[in-house]
Chain A
Amino acid sequence: MSSAPVVGIDLGTSNSSVAAFFGGKHQIIPDVQGHRLTPSIISFGKDKMVLVGHDAKAQIFANPKKTISSIKRLIGRKIFSPEVKKAQTLLPFKLVEGADQNIAIEIDGQLYSPQEISAMILRHMKDIATKKFGEEVTEAVITVPAHFNDNQRQATKDACKIAGLDALRIINEPTAAALAYGFGKGLRETVAIYDLGGGTFDLSILTLKDQVFEVIATAGDTFLGGDDFDDRIIDLCAENFLKRTKIDLRAIPQALPILRSNAEKAKRRLSYAEKTDIYIPGIVQQDGQPIDLQFTLSREIFRESTQDLIQRTFTVCDEGLRTAGLKASELDAVILVGGPTKMSLIFEAAASYFGKMPLRDHNPDEVVALGASIQAQGLTGTNTQKKALLLDVTPLDLGIATVGGYTETIVEANSPIPIQASEVFTTTRDNQETVNIRIFQGKNRREEESSELGEFEFSGFKKAKAGLAAIEVFFSINSDGIVEVSAKDKETGTSAGLKVKLSATMDEKKLSESTERSNQHREVQLKSDMKDAQKVVICVPSVGGHVYEDGFIRDLDPKASELSVFPEGSKVDAKKIETSKCAWFISIEDFANIPRYIEAVTQRPAAIHNELTGQLYQFKLKDGSFVFGQVDLPKLQENGFWIQPYFPHDQLPGKLYLYSSMVQESQPVNF
């Protein structure tokens, strides 16, 4: 084991993050630009150069066929599976069949497996950690959705190997979140984790008893996520456009990425605004004339169009509660995990379903990586530290093929892991030489609806009359949730001649080929004139309520009479906002967390944060709204002043500038 710290990595469908223990606590490691989340996107350029993360995301419009996103939707799946067919319609890059019916992506005549793409993201996260600690980080705990099957887990482990990371453990995302929530608190509670990610949904119910975190039920949908909500917005825009112009934007590959990007931003804005405008000038040409897309999306319409998706999450919740033998009212807490749960739509629906307010103390984007880091330290740390013990379960039935297209279950879903079960098999023919068993994982007894993990063949046992041979087969599921099969001839006690071919595992040769191919690519970073621009959210009080503008400002000067705001990521002209109309603006870390910033600044703080330095003040603005922040001596200067916004329990970095003209009075706040 190296001396570099072990890290936890959340390899998400849309975004990834890495965390470790430093500065006395488990924290997210930001990259050199200060980003705490890295988009899980790879963009291929010339001469084997690749862009990873934010830089790659910017290439989605310029280079759609070579910019790969949401690879997690494909990893460990077969090309013919229905989920992959659906994904192909949403993703602008091309999927082809690789070896063994696996998926491959074709770029510049080269075929890449989803493991290789994921490895590039993992390597980037590894580099972030390495840069932070000054020595190479080689060990990590990686998270996967609870409902990932054996193929998907194994493929994720292979991706780590290709990236030069030793995956100490693969843990389930909801379990990691529960760990981050309860670690060191000595709780005795039953909690539900509602984890809606970019592409997957999991519900896990855990019992927390002091050090022990036991999963008592898990249910999920590995093809339902935030991306689906974006799709609904795309549909709404496209239908509207179709009615007006008879052109279906969804059939135009160049239009899709722009449409998707705008849909995603609109979805986020609805978390802090009642309605938002989607405006894309010149999205298509008709008779040589550019046509604009203009669509106003309200919360109400969005809620209506996504009812079925939300209902699907609750169908999963019903199943989880049923397995646990609990009613929603018997839960002590509900925790929301995953970027998409920041939608106010989801928060309200969950509050209504569970009959209680989901907890909001933690950052849904970061909690999984923090949990992984805690587990990483738990596995490798010294004995003297108080360690949490995670008792997880396998999400799917493990079975073998049997008569009539059914599978017979050897290990049931929701069995604790690690676990071992065995069956004794015998022969049907005299002197039978081999025994062939096909292994499946699924929620359902029908073979065709389960995933085949592989086939194994046992030979070399003592030849005998039919029915006399006794071969004991051991099926075990290890702590990673990965299936291992071994066998023993009961007569002789030998395990000779066993050939196990589990579908998704890459053999050593393929792995080293992939690693070599991966190492040939160089990651580069884009130079951007927006790099030093500050991301801001500006509050402009208006007749109907507050309007929040977000964008980039170069050479920020609060004293100027006008702020020049560039919209995110584009080269269009800046929008000018007069500062006399502004109440305040926050210089923030990332636009994904705008609702949390706004909430932190305008809601009455619920509890004292231990690191409060300086006096907390409440500022009442002329329109009756409030702003909270820490400042040593508030001086109502001519223009305004900088204050430290109050972020309870959170790590949202940012500074707030309050314009004096809007302030009516200020009061120190004491608890």
Chain B
Amino acid sequence: MLSLVELETVKSVIGSLSHYQILKISTVASEDDIQTAFHREALLFHPDRYYAANDPKSSDLSKEIYAKVVNAYRTLSNRTKRQEYDRQRLASPSAAPTTKAKAVPTPESSSELTNRPQFSNEAVADDDENAITSIRPRPTGATAGAGSRFFKLAQTAFAARDFQSAKMNIQIALNTDSSNPEYLNFSQRIETELKKNQTKK
């Protein structure tokens, strides 16, 4: 358990640390190492450790710090996420992963289906460089991850045989990463299915 001053110090620097630095491990740490590190850091920063002390400042700080520890653990302990995180770091080592803006249909809007693909082209301002729809020759590390979300949505829709939704989502994914072979491949599969359905009629 740390003192208030120590917690404040950690809080002030943690925003600029990588996941590896937060867990105090090397970038080639094994899964066991990662778990051990998580346990060690949890014993220091988990809010429960500050519960009995009854000091709201320490409690709040520990919550904020622990949230970052959990995030680091969550990413690094999952093979796919860790790979993606490592890729992003190598692409732009100084950029911390950023969040992207998405549009939310208004209460009055009736057709969500048509709203979604539209927003990807119109709703986000051109000068928002974090927009998933910014067209760039090579996607930067910060935005490459966005495509995967829509890829997953496309896969889910595909599995449920909702090929229209799948097509829309894979198109958005391709907008973020037009040369990704997985996306291209999947897009082909969707097209094939759609053609099949058409010929059936």
In the complex, A472 Cα to B98 Cα: how many Å? Answer: 12
The 8 A CB mask of B152-190 against A (1 = contact, 0 = none) is: 010011001010010011000000000000000000000
Q: Given the complex, which residues of B lie within 8 Å of A466, measured CB to CB?
A: 103, 122-123
Q: B119: nearest residue on chain A (CB-CB)?
A: A428
Q: B107: nearest residue on chain A (CB-CB)?
A: A436
Q: Assess whether B39 is in contact with A212, with CB atoms less than 8 Å apart.
A: yes
Q: Assess whether A427 is in contact with B42, with CB atoms less than 8 Å apart.
A: no
The 8 A CB mask of B99-136 against A (1 = contact, 0 = none) is: 11111111101001101101100111100100000000
Q: Given the complex, which residues of A lie within 8 Å of B70, measured CB to CB?
A: 415-420
Kindly state whether residue A354 has any CB partner on chain B within 8 Å.
no
Q: Assess whether B1 is in contact with A383, with CB atoms less than 8 Å apart.
A: yes
Q: Given the complex, which residues of A lie within 8 Å of B116, measured CB to CB?
A: 402-403
Kindly state whether residue A454 has any CB partner on chain B within 8 Å.
no
Chain B nearest CB, measured from A536 CB (Å):
45
Q: Assess whether A428 is in contact with B106, with CB atoms less than 8 Å apart.
A: yes
In the complex, A391 Cα to B39 Cα: how many Å? Answer: 9
Kindly state whether residue B52 has any CB partner on chain A within 8 Å.
yes
Kindly state whether residue B63 has any CB partner on chain A within 8 Å.
yes
In the complex, A428 Cα to B153 Cα: how many Å? Answer: 21
Kindly state whether residue A599 has any CB partner on chain B within 8 Å.
no
Q: A391-B42, A426-B124 are in contact. Are A418 and B47 (CB under 8 A)?
A: yes
Kindly state whether residue A21 has any CB partner on chain B within 8 Å.
no
Q: B100: nearest residue on chain A (CB-CB)?
A: A424
Q: Assess whether B153 is in contact with A408, with CB atoms less than 8 Å apart.
A: yes
Kindly state whether residue B57 has any CB partner on chain A within 8 Å.
no
Q: Assess whether B103 is in contact with A425, with CB atoms less than 8 Å apart.
A: yes
Chain B nearest CB, measured from A493 CB (Å):
16
* B104 in complex: contacting residue of A207, A209, A425, CB < 8 Å: A425
In the complex, A373 Cα to B32 Cα: how many Å? Answer: 31
The 8 A CB mask of A222-243 against B (1 = contact, 0 = none) is: 0000000000000000000000
Q: Given the complex, which residues of A lie within 8 Å of B115, measured CB to CB?
A: 428
Q: Assess whether B48 is in contact with A479, with CB atoms less than 8 Å apart.
A: yes
Chain A nearest CB, measured from B173 CB (Å):
13
In the complex, A507 Cα to B63 Cα: how many Å? Answer: 26
How many residues of chain B are within 8 Å of chain A by beta carbon?
Answer: 51
Q: A428-B103, A434-B106 are in contact. Are A467 and B52 (CB under 8 A)?
A: no
Q: A434-B107, A436-B104 are in contact. Are A467 and B119 (CB under 8 A)?
A: yes
Q: A209-B39, A415-B74 are in contact. Are A426 and B103 (CB under 8 A)?
A: yes
Kindly state whether residue A380 has any CB partner on chain B within 8 Å.
yes
Kindly state whether residue A598 has any CB partner on chain B within 8 Å.
no
Q: B98: nearest residue on chain A (CB-CB)?
A: A424
The 8 A CB mask of A415-451 against B (1 = contact, 0 = none) is: 1111110111111110010111100000001100000
Q: B126: nearest residue on chain A (CB-CB)?
A: A467
Q: Given the complex, which residues of B lie within 8 Å of A472, measured CB to CB?
A: 99
Q: Assess whether B74 is in contact with A467, with CB atoms less than 8 Å apart.
A: no
The 8 A CB mask of B5-44 against A (1 = contact, 0 = none) is: 0000000000000000000000000000001101100110
Chain B nearest CB, measured from A458 CB (Å):
9
Chain A nearest CB, measured from B4 CB (Å):
15
* A380 in complex: contacting residue of B35, B52, B103, B162, CB < 8 Å: B52
Q: Assess whether B123 is in contact with A467, with CB atoms less than 8 Å apart.
A: yes
In the complex, A391 Cα to B122 Cα: how many Å? Answer: 43
Q: Assess whether A426 is in contact with B149, with CB atoms less than 8 Å apart.
A: no
In the complex, A424 Cα to B116 Cα: how many Å? Answer: 15
Q: A415-B74, A422-B99 are in contact. Are A467 and B125 (CB under 8 A)?
A: yes
In the complex, A415 Cα to B100 Cα: how many Å? Answer: 22
Q: Given the complex, which residues of B lie within 8 Å of A390, measured CB to CB?
A: 48
Chain A nearest CB, measured from B44 CB (Å):
10
Chain A nearest CB, measured from B21 CB (Å):
19
Q: Assess whether A428 is in contact with B113, with CB atoms less than 8 Å apart.
A: no
In the complex, A438 Cα to B37 Cα: how many Å? Answer: 36
In the complex, A383 Cα to B122 Cα: how many Å? Answer: 57
Kindly state whether residue A30 has any CB partner on chain B within 8 Å.
no
In the complex, A142 Cα to B123 Cα: how many Å? Answer: 47
Kindly state whether residue A245 has any CB partner on chain B within 8 Å.
no
Kindly state whether residue A404 has any CB partner on chain B within 8 Å.
yes
Kindly state whether residue B73 has any CB partner on chain A within 8 Å.
yes
Q: Assess whether A404 is in contact with B165, with CB atoms less than 8 Å apart.
A: yes
The 8 A CB mask of A357-391 against B (1 = contact, 0 = none) is: 00000000000000000000011111100010111
Chain A nearest CB, measured from B78 CB (Å):
9
Q: A391-B42, A403-B112, A419-B67 are in contact. Are A378 and B48 (CB under 8 A)?
A: yes
A-B contact pairs, 29 of them (CB 8 A): A207-B35, A209-B39, A211-B43, A212-B39, A214-B35, A379-B52, A391-B46, A402-B116, A403-B113, A403-B168, A403-B169, A404-B162, A415-B74, A418-B67, A419-B71, A419-B74, A425-B101, A425-B102, A428-B104, A428-B109, A428-B118, A436-B106, A465-B125, A467-B123, A467-B124, A468-B125, A470-B128, A472-B99, A476-B67
Question: A404-B162, A419-B74, A467-B103 given. 13 additional CB < 8 A pairs?
Answer: A379-B52, A381-B52, A389-B42, A391-B46, A419-B67, A423-B99, A423-B102, A426-B123, A426-B124, A435-B104, A436-B107, A467-B125, A467-B128
Chain A to chain B: the 6 pairs with minimum beta-carbon distance, closest first? A467-B123, A426-B101, A428-B103, A212-B39, A404-B165, A420-B67
